[in-house]
Structure 1
Amino acid sequence: MSQMTISTRLGRSTALGARAGRARAVDAAPTSANHGFRLLCALLVALTFTAVLLLNTVRAEGSYVLSTLETEATALHDEKVTLADELAGKQSSEHLARAAAKLKMVPSTSTATLRLSDGSITGVASKVDGSRTLTVDLPSTGTAPAKDD
C-alpha cells in the first residue's frame, strides 16, 4: 500500500469521527417482542424431535412385528410341507394296500358302478371269497338287506 492510500483512509476516518460526534444514541428495540418468536422456534424444534422419536418407535415396533410374523410364516410353511409329504405317503397305493390288509380286506375281482342321475347300475360285481360278511343299513328304509348266504 502506498502512503497516499493510508493518509486518505485516515482522513476519511477522522471525517467520520467528526460526524460520529454529532450522532445520537438510540435504544435497542424492546427484547420482549423476541420472546414469542423464540418460544415458537423452541416449540417447533421440540415438536419435530417428538415426531421423529414417535416415528422411529413405530417403525421399530413394526419391524419387530414383521420379524415375528416372518418367523411364524416360516414355521407354518415347514409344517405345511411336512403335512403334504405325510398326506402323499398316506395316499400312495402301497400304504392303502397295507391298511386294507390290516382290516382283512381283499382285492375285488370285478366292479360295478352306480349312476347317480338315474340310479342305474352298470357292470356286474361278483362276491369276493372271504370269511367276513358285511351288513349295510339302508337309510331310506332303515332296514338291513337280506343276506345272500
Structure 2
Amino acid sequence: MSQMTISARLPRAARARTGARSVDASPARTNIGFLLLCAFIVASSFTAVLVLNTARAEGSYVLSRLEVQRTALHDQKVTLAEELAEKESPENLAGAAEKLKMVPSTSTATVRLSDGSITGVASKVEDGHTITVDLPSTGIPLPKDD
C-alpha cells in the first residue's frame, strides 16, 4: 500500500498525529548582514581598482611629460655645447681680442695664486704699448721695461 491510500483511509485526527506536514525548503529568515558585507566587499574592490588604475594613468601622463622635457633639455644642452665650442675656438678668441685692441704677447708671465708670486717675465709688446701690473700684496706697480 502506498502512503496515499493509508492517509486516505485514516481519519483526519489520526493524520494530524502522524506528524506529516509540509516544510518550506528556503529559510524563513534571510541573512541581510552577510549580503551587505558581500556587497560592501565587491564595491570596495571595484573602487580600489578604479583608484589604482587612475593613479597609474596619471603617472603615465607625468612620465610622458617628463620625457618630453628631458628631450628638450638634452637638445638645449647639445646646442649650448656647440655654441661654447665655437666661441672658445682659437680663431674666435683671436677675433674677439683684436676687437678689444689686444695684441699677441711674445712672452708670458704667470701669477701663482697660493702665494701671489710672479713666475716668468713679460716682455714689451712690439707696437709700443706697455703692461703695468699691480702687485696685490704691496699695491706698487712693477717698473716699466724700456
Query: What does residue 100 of structure 2 align with?
Result: 103
TM-score, normalising length from structure 2? 0.73
Distance 1:54 1:30 in 2: 40
Partner of 1:82: 79
Gaps of 5+ in 2: 8-17
Note the residue ranges of structure 1 that are not aligned, 5 or more in a row. 1-14
For residues 111-136 of structure 1, give each alpha carbon's deviation from its aligned partner in whole angstroms, at most 9, with x where no partner exists: 455667884735x5422213443433
Match of 1:129 in 2: 126
Distance 1:129 1:70 in 2: 57
Match of 2:28 in 1: 30
Cα separation, 2, equivalents of 1:18 and 1:93: 122
Aligned to 2:90: 93
- Tell me how far apart the structure 2 counterparts of residues 110 and 147 of structure 1 sit (CA, whole Å): 15
Describe the superposition over 1:2-36 as per-residue Cα deviations: whole angstroms up to 9, x where unpaired: xxxxxxxxxxxxx6x749x785212432333x211
TM-score, normalised by the number of residues in structure 1 = 0.71
Aligned to 2:83, the other structure's residue is in SS state: helix
Percentage of matched positions with identical amino acids: 65
Q: CA RMSD in A?
A: 2.9
Task: Count how many residue pairs are aligned between Structure 1 and Structure 2.
Answer: 132
Partner of residue 41, structure 1? 38
